[in-house]
Structure 1
Amino acid sequence: MSARTAGRALARRTAAAALLLAATAAACGIRPTDVPVDAGPGPVRSTCETESDAPLDDSGDAEETEVFLLCGSHVESVERPISLPRPETGEAGPDYRVTVARALLSALQAGPDAEETDAGFTSAVPGALQVAGPGEGDPQPTLRLSQEPKALPAVALVQIICTFANSERLDGNGRTVLLAGPGASGGGTPEPYACTPAMLSDPEFAHAPPGASA
Protein backbone atom coordinates (compact mmCIF):
# COMPACT_ATOMS: atom_id res chain seq x y z
CA MET A 1 0.00 0.00 0.00
CA SER A 2 1.34 3.39 -0.99
CA ALA A 3 1.71 6.24 1.44
CA ARG A 4 -1.10 8.13 -0.33
CA THR A 5 -3.47 5.13 -0.10
CA ALA A 6 -2.61 4.61 3.55
CA GLY A 7 -3.26 8.29 4.27
CA ARG A 8 -6.67 8.14 2.61
CA ALA A 9 -7.62 5.02 4.60
CA LEU A 10 -6.60 6.73 7.84
CA ALA A 11 -8.63 9.81 6.95
CA ARG A 12 -11.71 7.67 6.23
CA ARG A 13 -11.36 5.88 9.58
CA THR A 14 -10.95 9.18 11.42
CA ALA A 15 -14.03 10.64 9.72
CA ALA A 16 -16.06 7.53 10.50
CA ALA A 17 -15.03 7.68 14.16
CA ALA A 18 -16.04 11.34 14.34
CA LEU A 19 -19.45 10.57 12.79
CA LEU A 20 -19.98 7.72 15.28
CA LEU A 21 -19.10 9.97 18.22
CA ALA A 22 -21.49 12.66 17.00
CA ALA A 23 -24.29 10.15 16.54
CA THR A 24 -23.75 8.76 20.03
CA ALA A 25 -23.85 12.24 21.55
CA ALA A 26 -27.04 13.08 19.64
CA ALA A 27 -28.68 9.87 20.85
CA CYS A 28 -27.93 10.93 24.42
CA GLY A 29 -29.43 14.36 23.86
CA ILE A 30 -26.04 16.10 23.84
CA ARG A 31 -25.40 18.70 21.18
CA PRO A 32 -21.74 18.98 20.20
CA THR A 33 -20.30 22.46 20.56
CA ASP A 34 -16.96 24.14 20.20
CA VAL A 35 -17.93 26.82 22.73
CA PRO A 36 -16.65 26.27 26.28
CA VAL A 37 -19.54 25.70 28.71
CA ASP A 38 -19.60 27.45 32.06
CA ALA A 39 -21.23 25.01 34.49
CA GLY A 40 -21.45 27.71 37.14
CA PRO A 41 -20.06 27.64 40.66
CA GLY A 42 -19.89 24.40 42.55
CA PRO A 43 -22.30 23.64 45.40
CA VAL A 44 -21.81 25.71 48.54
CA ARG A 45 -21.49 23.81 51.79
CA SER A 46 -23.27 25.11 54.86
CA THR A 47 -20.78 25.84 57.59
CA CYS A 48 -23.34 26.29 60.40
CA GLU A 49 -20.82 28.64 62.03
CA THR A 50 -21.09 32.37 62.60
CA GLU A 51 -19.00 35.03 64.23
CA SER A 52 -21.46 37.73 65.14
CA ASP A 53 -19.86 41.16 65.24
CA ALA A 54 -23.08 43.18 65.12
CA PRO A 55 -22.77 46.22 67.42
CA LEU A 56 -24.97 46.51 70.47
CA ASP A 57 -27.40 49.42 70.42
CA ASP A 58 -26.77 52.55 72.46
CA SER A 59 -29.67 51.94 74.82
CA GLY A 60 -27.73 49.30 76.70
CA ASP A 61 -30.69 46.89 76.53
CA ALA A 62 -29.24 44.67 73.82
CA GLU A 63 -27.24 41.68 74.91
CA GLU A 64 -25.82 38.57 73.31
CA THR A 65 -28.75 36.16 73.31
CA GLU A 66 -28.89 32.53 72.30
CA VAL A 67 -31.50 31.65 69.67
CA PHE A 68 -31.93 28.35 67.87
CA LEU A 69 -32.13 28.07 64.07
CA LEU A 70 -32.26 25.26 61.54
CA CYS A 71 -29.07 24.41 59.64
CA GLY A 72 -29.28 21.47 57.28
CA SER A 73 -31.34 18.80 59.00
CA HIS A 74 -30.60 19.81 62.58
CA VAL A 75 -31.10 22.75 64.94
CA GLU A 76 -28.20 24.76 66.35
CA SER A 77 -27.81 27.79 68.55
CA VAL A 78 -26.44 31.13 67.44
CA GLU A 79 -25.80 34.25 69.47
CA ARG A 80 -26.99 37.66 68.39
CA PRO A 81 -27.60 40.99 70.12
CA ILE A 82 -31.28 41.33 71.10
CA SER A 83 -32.88 44.08 73.12
CA LEU A 84 -34.55 42.45 76.11
CA PRO A 85 -36.25 44.31 78.95
CA ARG A 86 -34.95 44.06 82.47
CA PRO A 87 -37.30 43.32 85.37
CA GLU A 88 -38.27 46.37 87.38
CA THR A 89 -37.80 44.35 90.55
CA GLY A 90 -35.56 41.48 91.39
CA GLU A 91 -38.33 39.00 90.67
CA ALA A 92 -39.53 38.31 87.13
CA GLY A 93 -43.34 38.08 87.12
CA PRO A 94 -45.63 36.67 84.42
CA ASP A 95 -45.96 39.98 82.55
CA TYR A 96 -42.21 40.40 82.34
CA ARG A 97 -41.73 36.81 81.17
CA VAL A 98 -44.30 37.31 78.40
CA THR A 99 -42.48 40.45 77.21
CA VAL A 100 -39.20 38.52 77.03
CA ALA A 101 -40.85 35.54 75.32
CA ARG A 102 -42.37 37.83 72.69
CA ALA A 103 -38.99 39.42 71.98
CA LEU A 104 -37.40 35.98 71.57
CA LEU A 105 -40.26 34.76 69.39
CA SER A 106 -39.91 37.85 67.18
CA ALA A 107 -36.20 37.12 66.77
CA LEU A 108 -37.03 33.61 65.55
CA GLN A 109 -39.75 34.89 63.23
CA ALA A 110 -37.39 37.47 61.73
CA GLY A 111 -35.26 34.59 60.48
CA PRO A 112 -31.48 34.53 60.10
CA ASP A 113 -29.46 37.68 59.51
CA ALA A 114 -27.13 38.00 56.53
CA GLU A 115 -24.20 36.25 58.20
CA GLU A 116 -26.41 33.43 59.48
CA THR A 117 -27.95 33.02 56.03
CA ASP A 118 -24.49 32.71 54.47
CA ALA A 119 -23.67 30.03 57.04
CA GLY A 120 -26.73 28.03 55.98
CA PHE A 121 -29.23 28.89 58.73
CA THR A 122 -33.01 29.21 58.25
CA SER A 123 -36.05 29.51 60.52
CA ALA A 124 -39.36 27.62 60.38
CA VAL A 125 -41.23 29.59 63.07
CA PRO A 126 -44.53 30.95 61.60
CA GLY A 127 -44.73 34.70 61.44
CA ALA A 128 -48.30 34.78 62.73
CA LEU A 129 -47.56 32.81 65.90
CA GLN A 130 -48.11 34.66 69.18
CA VAL A 131 -47.27 33.93 72.79
CA ALA A 132 -49.15 34.89 75.96
CA GLY A 133 -48.82 34.28 79.66
CA PRO A 134 -50.50 31.73 81.92
CA GLY A 135 -54.24 31.32 81.96
CA GLU A 136 -56.35 31.03 85.08
CA GLY A 137 -55.12 28.12 87.15
CA ASP A 138 -51.91 27.70 85.13
CA PRO A 139 -48.53 27.55 86.88
CA GLN A 140 -46.78 30.93 86.71
CA PRO A 141 -44.03 29.88 84.26
CA THR A 142 -46.60 28.79 81.65
CA LEU A 143 -46.35 30.29 78.18
CA ARG A 144 -49.39 29.76 75.96
CA LEU A 145 -48.91 29.81 72.19
CA SER A 146 -51.61 30.91 69.77
CA GLN A 147 -51.30 27.48 68.16
CA GLU A 148 -51.14 24.06 69.76
CA PRO A 149 -47.46 23.15 70.20
CA LYS A 150 -47.94 19.77 68.54
CA ALA A 151 -49.63 21.45 65.55
CA LEU A 152 -46.45 23.39 64.79
CA PRO A 153 -43.81 21.98 62.44
CA ALA A 154 -41.36 19.92 64.48
CA VAL A 155 -38.46 22.20 63.53
CA ALA A 156 -40.34 25.32 64.64
CA LEU A 157 -41.28 23.69 67.94
CA VAL A 158 -37.64 22.75 68.62
CA GLN A 159 -36.54 26.32 67.87
CA ILE A 160 -39.09 27.70 70.33
CA ILE A 161 -38.50 25.11 73.05
CA CYS A 162 -34.73 25.48 73.05
CA THR A 163 -34.70 29.28 72.70
CA PHE A 164 -37.12 29.70 75.61
CA ALA A 165 -35.56 26.96 77.76
CA ASN A 166 -32.08 28.48 77.46
CA SER A 167 -33.10 32.07 78.20
CA GLU A 168 -31.87 33.33 81.55
CA ARG A 169 -34.47 36.09 81.38
CA LEU A 170 -37.16 33.40 81.35
CA ASP A 171 -35.43 31.67 84.26
CA GLY A 172 -34.54 28.93 81.80
CA ASN A 173 -32.58 26.00 83.13
CA GLY A 174 -31.36 24.93 79.71
CA ARG A 175 -33.68 21.96 79.67
CA THR A 176 -37.42 22.61 79.85
CA VAL A 177 -40.12 25.19 79.18
CA LEU A 178 -43.79 24.99 80.18
CA LEU A 179 -45.95 25.35 77.04
CA ALA A 180 -49.62 25.07 76.14
CA GLY A 181 -51.97 26.04 73.34
CA PRO A 182 -54.24 29.10 73.15
CA GLY A 183 -56.59 29.98 76.00
CA ALA A 184 -57.12 28.25 79.31
CA SER A 185 -60.06 26.31 77.84
CA GLY A 186 -59.40 24.08 74.87
CA GLY A 187 -55.70 24.89 74.83
CA GLY A 188 -54.68 21.87 76.79
CA THR A 189 -52.87 21.49 80.08
CA PRO A 190 -49.43 23.14 80.25
CA GLU A 191 -46.74 20.54 79.73
CA PRO A 192 -42.96 20.65 80.17
CA TYR A 193 -41.11 20.46 76.85
CA ALA A 194 -37.45 19.49 77.14
CA CYS A 195 -34.66 20.77 74.90
CA THR A 196 -32.65 17.60 74.35
CA PRO A 197 -29.62 16.72 72.21
CA ALA A 198 -31.79 14.18 70.40
CA MET A 199 -34.31 16.77 69.19
CA LEU A 200 -31.53 19.12 68.13
CA SER A 201 -30.15 16.34 65.93
CA ASP A 202 -33.59 15.14 64.80
CA PRO A 203 -36.37 17.73 65.28
CA GLU A 204 -39.07 15.05 64.94
CA PHE A 205 -38.34 14.17 68.56
CA ALA A 206 -40.23 17.37 69.44
CA HIS A 207 -43.46 15.58 68.53
CA ALA A 208 -42.82 12.88 71.10
CA PRO A 209 -45.09 12.94 74.17
CA PRO A 210 -44.39 16.04 76.33
CA GLY A 211 -41.94 15.34 79.09
CA ALA A 212 -40.65 12.18 77.41
CA SER A 213 -36.88 11.78 77.62
CA ALA A 214 -34.88 11.58 74.39
Structure 2
Amino acid sequence: MSRPTAGTARGRRAPLALACAALGLVSVSLLSGCGIRATSVPVDAGAAPSQVGCVLPDGRESPEAGDGVSVVRVYLVCGSRVAPVEREVRMPGGRSSAERLPVARKLLEELKHQPHAMEESAGFETAVPEGLTISAAGRDDPDEALRLSTPLDELPSFALAQIVCTFADTAAADADNGVVIGGPGEDGDQGGEDGDGGKGDGKDPGGSSVPLQRFECGTALRNSPEDAESAGTRV
Protein backbone atom coordinates (compact mmCIF):
# COMPACT_ATOMS: atom_id res chain seq x y z
CA MET A 1 0.00 0.00 0.00
CA SER A 2 1.43 3.32 -1.01
CA ARG A 3 1.75 6.13 1.58
CA PRO A 4 0.20 9.50 0.82
CA THR A 5 2.63 12.14 -0.21
CA ALA A 6 3.14 15.34 1.79
CA GLY A 7 1.31 17.31 -0.88
CA THR A 8 -1.71 15.03 -0.60
CA ALA A 9 -1.81 15.37 3.23
CA ARG A 10 -1.61 19.13 3.02
CA GLY A 11 -4.40 19.05 0.48
CA ARG A 12 -6.63 17.09 2.87
CA ARG A 13 -5.83 19.37 5.84
CA ALA A 14 -6.80 22.56 4.02
CA PRO A 15 -10.58 21.80 3.81
CA LEU A 16 -10.52 20.73 7.49
CA ALA A 17 -8.95 24.05 8.52
CA LEU A 18 -11.54 25.95 6.55
CA ALA A 19 -14.35 23.94 8.17
CA CYS A 20 -13.00 24.65 11.64
CA ALA A 21 -12.77 28.34 10.91
CA ALA A 22 -16.40 28.34 9.74
CA LEU A 23 -17.50 26.61 12.92
CA GLY A 24 -15.48 28.94 15.16
CA LEU A 25 -18.50 31.02 16.22
CA VAL A 26 -21.00 28.17 16.35
CA SER A 27 -20.05 25.87 19.19
CA VAL A 28 -17.21 25.36 21.63
CA SER A 29 -17.82 21.61 21.59
CA LEU A 30 -17.37 21.53 17.81
CA LEU A 31 -14.15 23.50 18.10
CA SER A 32 -12.69 20.82 20.33
CA GLY A 33 -13.13 18.38 17.49
CA CYS A 34 -11.05 20.71 15.34
CA GLY A 35 -8.11 20.51 17.69
CA ILE A 36 -8.91 23.79 19.54
CA ARG A 37 -9.03 23.59 23.33
CA ALA A 38 -12.36 24.77 24.85
CA THR A 39 -12.22 27.41 27.56
CA SER A 40 -14.47 28.06 30.56
CA VAL A 41 -13.66 31.80 30.60
CA PRO A 42 -16.83 33.75 29.68
CA VAL A 43 -16.75 36.04 26.70
CA ASP A 44 -17.10 39.72 27.56
CA ALA A 45 -20.32 40.80 25.85
CA GLY A 46 -20.23 44.33 27.25
CA ALA A 47 -21.92 45.94 30.22
CA ALA A 48 -25.44 44.87 31.22
CA PRO A 49 -28.18 47.32 30.26
CA SER A 50 -28.74 49.94 32.93
CA GLN A 51 -32.04 50.13 34.82
CA VAL A 52 -33.91 53.22 35.93
CA GLY A 53 -33.22 53.68 39.62
CA CYS A 54 -36.48 55.49 40.50
CA VAL A 55 -34.41 57.50 42.99
CA LEU A 56 -33.92 61.26 42.91
CA PRO A 57 -30.33 62.58 42.95
CA ASP A 58 -28.67 62.77 46.38
CA GLY A 59 -27.51 66.32 45.79
CA ARG A 60 -30.98 67.85 45.65
CA GLU A 61 -32.38 69.90 48.51
CA SER A 62 -34.95 68.04 50.60
CA PRO A 63 -38.37 69.68 50.89
CA GLU A 64 -39.01 71.50 54.14
CA ALA A 65 -42.32 72.00 55.92
CA GLY A 66 -43.33 75.34 57.35
CA ASP A 67 -45.63 78.33 56.87
CA GLY A 68 -48.62 76.10 56.24
CA VAL A 69 -46.70 73.88 53.82
CA SER A 70 -46.43 70.14 54.46
CA VAL A 71 -44.03 67.60 52.98
CA VAL A 72 -46.15 64.82 51.49
CA ARG A 73 -45.39 61.58 49.70
CA VAL A 74 -46.86 61.40 46.24
CA TYR A 75 -46.68 58.08 44.42
CA LEU A 76 -45.72 58.20 40.75
CA VAL A 77 -45.20 55.54 38.11
CA CYS A 78 -41.61 54.45 37.59
CA GLY A 79 -41.00 51.52 35.29
CA SER A 80 -43.37 48.72 36.23
CA ARG A 81 -44.19 49.93 39.75
CA VAL A 82 -45.26 52.98 41.73
CA ALA A 83 -42.78 54.74 44.00
CA PRO A 84 -42.91 57.83 46.24
CA VAL A 85 -41.44 61.27 45.79
CA GLU A 86 -41.61 64.06 48.35
CA ARG A 87 -43.27 67.36 47.53
CA GLU A 88 -44.09 70.55 49.38
CA VAL A 89 -47.86 71.01 49.38
CA ARG A 90 -50.08 73.49 51.22
CA MET A 91 -52.38 70.99 52.93
CA PRO A 92 -55.37 71.24 55.27
CA GLY A 93 -54.26 70.02 58.71
CA GLY A 94 -55.46 67.14 60.82
CA ARG A 95 -56.82 63.66 60.25
CA SER A 96 -60.49 64.36 61.03
CA SER A 97 -63.19 63.25 58.61
CA ALA A 98 -63.96 66.95 58.06
CA GLU A 99 -60.60 67.27 56.29
CA ARG A 100 -60.92 64.12 54.22
CA LEU A 101 -62.30 65.69 51.04
CA PRO A 102 -60.02 68.79 50.97
CA VAL A 103 -56.96 66.61 51.59
CA ALA A 104 -58.01 64.12 48.91
CA ARG A 105 -58.50 66.92 46.39
CA LYS A 106 -55.11 68.47 47.12
CA LEU A 107 -53.37 65.12 46.74
CA LEU A 108 -55.26 64.29 43.55
CA GLU A 109 -54.20 67.62 42.04
CA GLU A 110 -50.57 66.76 42.82
CA LEU A 111 -50.97 63.39 41.12
CA LYS A 112 -52.35 65.01 37.97
CA HIS A 113 -49.41 67.39 37.64
CA GLN A 114 -46.67 66.30 35.28
CA PRO A 115 -43.50 65.27 37.16
CA HIS A 116 -40.93 67.97 37.86
CA ALA A 117 -37.85 67.99 35.63
CA MET A 118 -35.73 66.17 38.22
CA GLU A 119 -38.45 63.56 38.80
CA GLU A 120 -38.83 63.01 35.06
CA SER A 121 -35.09 62.57 34.59
CA ALA A 122 -35.16 59.86 37.28
CA GLY A 123 -37.83 57.95 35.34
CA PHE A 124 -41.02 59.09 37.08
CA GLU A 125 -44.32 59.78 35.31
CA THR A 126 -48.02 59.88 36.17
CA ALA A 127 -50.94 57.85 34.83
CA VAL A 128 -53.68 59.88 36.56
CA PRO A 129 -55.98 61.53 33.98
CA GLU A 130 -56.10 65.33 34.06
CA GLY A 131 -59.91 65.40 34.07
CA LEU A 132 -60.34 63.10 37.07
CA THR A 133 -62.18 64.64 40.04
CA ILE A 134 -63.11 63.36 43.48
CA SER A 135 -66.05 63.83 45.82
CA ALA A 136 -67.08 62.76 49.30
CA ALA A 137 -69.25 59.87 50.37
CA GLY A 138 -72.73 59.48 48.96
CA ARG A 139 -75.83 59.42 51.14
CA ASP A 140 -75.69 55.65 51.67
CA ASP A 141 -71.88 55.37 51.84
CA PRO A 142 -69.72 55.06 54.94
CA ASP A 143 -68.21 58.37 56.03
CA GLU A 144 -64.66 57.36 55.06
CA ALA A 145 -65.66 56.72 51.44
CA LEU A 146 -64.53 58.84 48.49
CA ARG A 147 -65.95 58.75 44.98
CA LEU A 148 -64.08 59.37 41.74
CA SER A 149 -65.65 60.81 38.60
CA THR A 150 -64.52 57.71 36.67
CA PRO A 151 -65.56 54.12 37.51
CA LEU A 152 -62.69 52.09 38.95
CA ASP A 153 -62.78 49.56 36.11
CA GLU A 154 -62.33 52.38 33.58
CA LEU A 155 -59.46 54.01 35.42
CA PRO A 156 -55.90 53.03 34.42
CA SER A 157 -54.69 50.47 36.95
CA PHE A 158 -51.46 52.38 37.54
CA ALA A 159 -53.48 55.53 38.27
CA LEU A 160 -55.58 53.65 40.83
CA ALA A 161 -52.42 52.39 42.55
CA GLN A 162 -51.02 55.94 42.60
CA ILE A 163 -54.19 57.28 44.23
CA VAL A 164 -54.44 54.53 46.85
CA CYS A 165 -50.80 54.77 47.93
CA THR A 166 -50.83 58.57 47.97
CA PHE A 167 -54.04 58.73 50.03
CA ALA A 168 -52.94 56.04 52.52
CA ASP A 169 -51.71 57.34 55.87
CA THR A 170 -53.33 60.75 55.30
CA ALA A 171 -56.65 62.28 56.31
CA ALA A 172 -58.03 60.86 53.05
CA ALA A 173 -57.68 57.32 54.46
CA ASP A 174 -59.68 55.50 57.12
CA ALA A 175 -58.52 54.92 60.69
CA ASP A 176 -56.40 51.91 59.60
CA ASN A 177 -54.75 53.74 56.65
CA GLY A 178 -56.93 51.98 54.11
CA VAL A 179 -58.57 53.87 51.24
CA VAL A 180 -62.30 53.36 50.62
CA ILE A 181 -63.04 54.48 47.10
CA GLY A 182 -65.42 53.97 44.22
CA GLY A 183 -66.70 55.45 41.00
CA PRO A 184 -69.60 57.89 40.72
CA GLY A 185 -72.91 57.02 42.37
CA GLU A 186 -75.60 55.15 40.49
CA ASP A 187 -77.35 58.35 39.43
CA GLY A 188 -74.08 59.75 38.10
CA ASP A 189 -73.99 62.63 40.59
CA GLN A 190 -71.06 63.26 42.84
CA GLY A 191 -71.52 64.46 46.37
CA GLY A 192 -69.60 67.21 48.06
CA GLU A 193 -69.05 69.33 44.93
CA ASP A 194 -68.44 72.34 47.11
CA GLY A 195 -65.39 73.78 45.38
CA ASP A 196 -61.80 73.79 46.53
CA GLY A 197 -62.76 75.26 49.88
CA GLY A 198 -64.46 72.02 50.92
CA LYS A 199 -67.26 73.77 52.82
CA GLY A 200 -70.21 71.57 51.89
CA ASP A 201 -71.59 68.72 53.95
CA GLY A 202 -69.87 66.29 51.60
CA LYS A 203 -72.88 64.03 51.17
CA ASP A 204 -74.48 63.10 47.88
CA PRO A 205 -78.19 64.01 47.99
CA GLY A 206 -78.91 61.14 45.63
CA GLY A 207 -78.44 57.39 45.86
CA SER A 208 -74.98 55.78 45.61
CA SER A 209 -75.43 52.04 45.34
CA VAL A 210 -72.40 51.59 43.05
CA PRO A 211 -70.07 49.32 45.11
CA LEU A 212 -67.11 50.74 46.98
CA GLN A 213 -63.79 48.97 47.51
CA ARG A 214 -61.22 49.26 50.25
CA PHE A 215 -57.54 49.22 49.25
CA GLU A 216 -54.28 49.09 51.18
CA CYS A 217 -50.94 50.28 49.87
CA GLY A 218 -48.95 47.10 50.42
CA THR A 219 -45.84 45.77 48.71
CA ALA A 220 -47.91 43.76 46.22
CA LEU A 221 -49.81 46.84 45.04
CA ARG A 222 -46.68 49.01 44.79
CA ASN A 223 -44.75 46.37 42.82
CA SER A 224 -47.65 45.11 40.68
CA PRO A 225 -49.91 48.10 40.07
CA GLU A 226 -51.31 46.44 36.96
CA ASP A 227 -53.35 44.28 39.36
CA ALA A 228 -54.78 47.26 41.26
CA GLU A 229 -58.36 46.77 40.12
CA SER A 230 -58.53 43.32 41.78
CA ALA A 231 -56.54 44.32 44.87
CA GLY A 232 -59.45 45.85 46.77
CA THR A 233 -62.11 44.28 48.96
CA ARG A 234 -65.74 45.19 48.49
CA VAL A 235 -67.26 47.36 51.19
What range describes the TM-score normalised by the shorter chain of this pair?
A: 0.5 to 0.7
How far apart, in 2, do the equivalents of 1:184 and 1:84 lie? 31
Residues 190 and 124 from structure 1, CA distance in 2 versus in 1: closer, same or farther, beyond 3 angstroms?
same
- CA shift in 2, pair 1:57/1:200, >3 Å: closer
Task: Work out whether residues 112 and 121 of structure 1, in 8 Å CA contact, stay in contact via their aligned partners in 2.
Answer: yes
Match of 2:214 among 192, 198, 207: 192
Note if contact 1:175-1:194 (Cα within 8 Å) is conserved in structure 2: yes
2:63, 2:86 within 8 Å by CA — same for their partners in 1? no
Structure 2: unaligned runs, 5 residues or longer? 1-48, 189-207
TM-score, scaled relative to structure 1:
0.68
Which structure carries more helix by proportion? 1
Q: State percent identity of aligned pairs.
A: 35
CA contact (8 A) 1:54 1:81 kept: no
Q: Is the 8 A contact 1:174 1:195 kept in 2?
A: no
Unaligned runs of 5+ in 1: 1-42
Residue 122 of structure 2 is aligned to residue 133 of structure 1: no
Q: List aligned pairs for 1:63-82, cutoff 5 A.
A: 63-82=70-89
Among 92, 95, 100, the alignment partner of 2:96 is 92
Amino acid at match of 1:125: V
Q: For 1:10-89, what aligned pairs fall within 5 Å after superposition?
A: 45-50=51-56, 51=58, 53=61, 56=64, 60-87=67-94
- List structure 1 segments (4+ residues) > 6 angstroms apart after TM superposition: none
CA 1:78–1:57 in 2, change beyond 3 Å: closer, same or farther? Answer: closer
Distance in 1, Cα, partners of 2:175 & 2:61: 27
Q: 1:81 to 1:173 in 2, by over 3 A?
A: farther
* Aligned residue number for residue 104 of structure 1: 107
- How far apart are residue 166 of structure 1 and its match? 2.9
Residue from 118, 122, 126 that aligns with 2:125: 122
- In structure 2, the residue matched to 1:38 is none
Of structures 1 and 2, the larger Rg is shown by 2
Asked if 1:180 is matched to 2:182, the reply is: yes
Distance 2:63 2:75 in 1: 20
| Distance of 1:211 and 1:179 partners within structure 2 | 10
Q: What is the Cα deviation at residue 70 of structure 1?
A: 0.6
Q: How many residues align?
A: 164
How many Å separate the matches in 2 of 1:135 and 1:142?
A: 8
Please provide the CA RMSD for this pair. 2.5
**SS at 1:160's partner residue?**
helix
Deviation at 1:150, TM superposition (A): 2.0
